[in-house]
Amino acid sequence: MSKGTPDRVPDDGLTTAQRRHRPALIVNTGPGKGKSTAAFGTALRGWHQGWSIGVFQFVKSGRWRSGEQAAFEALDRVHRETGAGGPVRWHTLGAGLTWTRAGSDRAAQAEAASGTWAEVRDALAAQAHTLYLLDEFTYPLTWGWLDLDEVIATLATRPGVQHVIVTGRNAPQPLLDIATTVTEMTKLKHPFDDGQKGQAGIEW
Amino acid sequence: MSKGTPDRVPDDGLTTAQRRHRPALIVNTGPGKGKSTAAFGTALRGWHQGWSIGVFQFVKSGRWRSGEQAAFEALDRVHRETGAGGPVRWHTLGAGLTWTRAGSDRAAQAEAASGTWAEVRDALAAQAHTLYLLDEFTYPLTWGWLDLDEVIATLATRPGVQHVIVTGRNAPQPLLDIATTVTEMTKLKHPFDDGQKGQAGIEW
């Protein structure tokens, strides 16, 4: 319930204000639901602060994130028309790719992931956004499609105050090491266990 | 990564379509971050489906959920002006209440919780919404401010297809028993551990 009370105050030479505004690197991982939805819910808070938000999708399929994308595109329009909130830029993967480990064209998928990561890297260098949402970013890391060392170094040395949220299962340890917040979502019960398929409005 | 593939198909006499459209009761619990943000992220999907969404806040403080509220009020306006998405109705607790276990006026808090729950009960009976977000609902249950048996019976027998998402730590076992999906958010690392206070755009 507490939202602002630290458990202890460290001897790190930072003022409370400096510590409060430290750039966040949030990782939502684990096998349960809620990793991406929590990231998008947090992005609503950034939107309300007027932050520029960049969403980078590292998974591509037909309905994937369509609800979130429609809502954030609507919020971006609200910003442009009324000045409320902040701008949202949504980056999808290359068109037509289906993003699975067993995909038929892994080389094309790896290339698309590299291209999207290059967009993130350029945006970070240019300080293009205040909040970056790297959705399902752990998968290309885990599958060796991106250079983990280079990704970690880029994130760890990003300039200014740029917050980053990463989602996906099995976040690599070096990413956890440089994160400021790590939450593991654990499945206690899920309707797929009972043979239920996903439904619109809940799973996408 | 899979969003629609059941682990097994049960012998429950339901068709796949019936099972797919079974009303969801989703519980996001545990000590980690992301319980409420995941709920609001899921609600973006419902909004995109054109669902009527009712948000019922069982916690009240100055900045609490202000980002989420601003964003969903903007989405509600988008719906009214353009027809996109669905309507959103946001129910806050009684004005001026601060909602903590150590609050100075517990009787008033318990009464406010009862009043908000009565609104939920009436809305469920009237089938007013397709998605209900009962934010921080576990606390008045845990603290004995609501009749748990009555709450469980009301949720378990709700008519029609009405999806419910409940958030909060320490969800009571009877609630988990009737849930279709339960996710536990576990804190692996959090900046409050290092004495960092919450910051705008991330914690609210």
pLDDT tens-digit map of B101-128: 445 577 778 888 899 999 999 999 999 9
List beta partners, residue B167.
B28
Q: Please report which confidence band the pLDDT of residue B78 belongs to, taking 50, 70 and 90 as the band edges.
A: very high
State how far the Cα of B174 lies from the Cα of A10, in Å rounded to an integer. Answer: 40
pLDDT at A83 (0 to 100): 97
pLDDT tens-digit map of B23-76: 999 999 999 999 999 999 999 999 999 999 999 998 765 567 889 999 999 999
Chain A positions in Cβ-Cβ contact with residue B37 (cut-off 8 Å):
37-42, 44-45
Residue of A189, A125, A27 whose CA lies nearest to B188: A27
What pTM was estimated for this model as a whole? Answer: 0.85
CB contact under 8 A, A195 and B51: no
Does residue A154 sit within a domain?
yes
Query: What part of B 133-152 touches A (C-beta under 8 Å)?
Result: 136, 139
Query: What part of A 64-103 touches B (C-beta under 8 Å)?
Result: 64, 66-68, 70-72, 74-75, 77-78, 84-85, 100-101
Low-confidence ranges of chain A (pLDDT < 70): 1-21, 60-63, 94-104, 191-197
In chain B, whose CA is at the least distance from the CA of A32?
A: B183
CB contact under 8 A, A84 and B75: no
Does residue A4 sit within a domain?
no
B152 CB-side CA count, 13 A:
13
State how far the Cα of A202 lies from the Cα of B46, in Å rounded to an integer. Answer: 7
Chain B positions in Cβ-Cβ contact with residue A139 (cut-off 8 Å):
1
Q: Please report which confidence band the pLDDT of residue B3 belongs to, taking 50, 70 and 90 as the band edges.
A: very low
Chain B interface disruption, residue of A5, A9, A11, A42, most B CBs within 10 A: A42
Residue B114, judged by CB atoms within 10 A of its CB (0-12, 13-18, 19+), counts as: middle
Chain A interface disruption, residue of B178, B183, B184, B204, most A CBs within 10 A: B183
The count of domains in chain B is 1
Q: Is A163 helix (H, G, I), strand (E, B) or coil?
A: strand
In chain A, whose CA is at the least distance from the CA of B8?
A: A195
CB contact under 8 A, B185 and A187: no
pLDDT at B76 (0 to 100): 98
DSSP letters for A60-106: --SSTTHHHHHHHHHHHHHHHHH--S--EEEEPPSTT----TT-S-H
- In Å, how far is A133's CA from the nearest CA of chain B? 12
| Domain encompassing residue B170 | 22-185
Does residue B10 sit within a domain?
no
CB contact under 8 A, A202 and B9: no
State how far the Cα of A3 lies from the Cα of A164, in Å rounded to an integer. Answer: 19
Does residue A8 sit within a domain?
no
CATH number at residue A170: 3.40.50.300
Interface membership of B174 toward A (CB under 8 Å): no
Phi, psi angle pair for A167, to nearest 5°: -120, 160
Chain B interface disruption, residue of A11, A25, A37, most B CBs within 10 A: A37
Does residue A201 sit within a domain?
no
Query: What part of B 105-124 touches A (C-beta under 8 Å)?
Result: none
* Residue of A163 and B8 predicted with greater confidence: A163
CB contact under 8 A, A198 and B20: yes
Does residue B11 sit within a domain?
no
- In Å, how far is A13's CA from the nearest CA of chain B? 12
Say if residue B204's pLDDT is above 90: no
Does residue B85 sit within a domain?
yes
pLDDT at A1 (0 to 100): 40
CA distances (Å), B12 to each of A200, B9, B19, in order? 22, 9, 9
CB A53 within 8 A of CB A72: yes
pLDDT tens-digit map of B149-158: 999 999 999 9
- Please report the ipTM that was assigned to this predicted complex: 0.84
State how far the Cα of B166 lies from the Cα of B183, in Å rounded to an integer. Answer: 11
SS (H, E, C) chain B: CCCCCCCCCCCCCCCHHHHHCCCCEEEEECCCCCHHHHHHHHHHHHHHCCCCEEEEECCCCCCCCHHHHHHHHHHHHHHHHHCCCCCEEEECCCCCCCCCCCCCCHHHHHHHHHHHHHHHHHHHHHCCCCEEEEECCHHHHHCCCCCHHHHHHHHHCCCCCCEEEEECCCCCHHHHHHCCEEEEEEEEECHHHHCCCCCCCCCC
Chain A positions in Cβ-Cβ contact with residue B19 (cut-off 8 Å):
191, 194-197
Q: For the stretch A154-179, what's the b/e string if a residue is b when 16 or more beta carbons lie within 10 angstroms of its beta carbon?
A: ebeebeeebbbbbbbbebbebbbeeb
Does residue B12 sit within a domain?
no
pLDDT at A65 (0 to 100): 83
CB contact under 8 A, B41 and A45: no
Phi, psi angle pair for A57, to nearest 5°: -90, 125
State how far the Cα of B128 lies from the Cα of B148, in Å rounded to an integer. Answer: 23
